[in-house]
Structure 1
Amino acid sequence: MPREYHELKTETEYYQAVERGDKSFEVRKNDRDFKIFDMVILHEVVHGIPTGRKLDPMEIVYILPGGIYGIAPDYCVMQLKR
């Protein structure tokens, strides 16, 4: 089964935390049917405006689905591996 590549926007504060290695997860609305082994490419935005910066693709290695532990049913928490 081929991997999906998901291009996602993220504000500078969170982009930089991932870039530094301080943050290895994303909380997202699961409207793309994210799956383990899919790849995520984060694009930095400032107030929704792209800066042109992006991170190398990161693999989704774990997904905590919504509907448990206070996560909204249509959201998920994804662990990313650089």
Structure 2
Amino acid sequence: MIHELKILPEHFEAVTSGRKQFEIRKNDGDYKVGDRLYLREWNGENFTGDSYKAEVTYITDYAQKDGYVVMGIEGLEGAK
């Protein structure tokens, strides 16, 4: 499944640089390992036009708020 998600610029830059290899999200999309994330940079008012594609490689709800998950992600080749 492909999930299209908004991501703020500071988090987007951390993901695209490889420093942040996870996403914490409310599990309202029933995320699963193997799903694809289409992360669209959102400045709080508009999409910037930048995007990044990643695959969910790991998922856990350990020590998260109810209904939230941590997803390990890996950028897809030519992801940006």
TM-score (norm 2): 0.88
Residue 61 of structure 1 corresponds to which residue in structure 2? 57
CA RMSD of aligned residues (A): 0.9
Give structure 2 stretches of 5+ with no counterpart: 76-80
Runs of 4+ in 1 over 6 A off after TM superposition: none
- How far apart are residue 30 of structure 1 and its match? 0.2
Task: Name the count of aligned residue pairs.
Answer: 75
TM-score (norm 1): 0.86
- How far apart are residue 79 of structure 1 and its match? 0.3
Summarize deviations over 1:5-48 as a string: whole Å, max 9, x none: 00100000000000111000000000010000000011001114
1:15 to 8, 12, 17: 12
Identity across aligned pairs (percent)?
37
Give structure 1 stretches of 5+ with no counterpart: none
1:81 to 71, 74, 77: 74
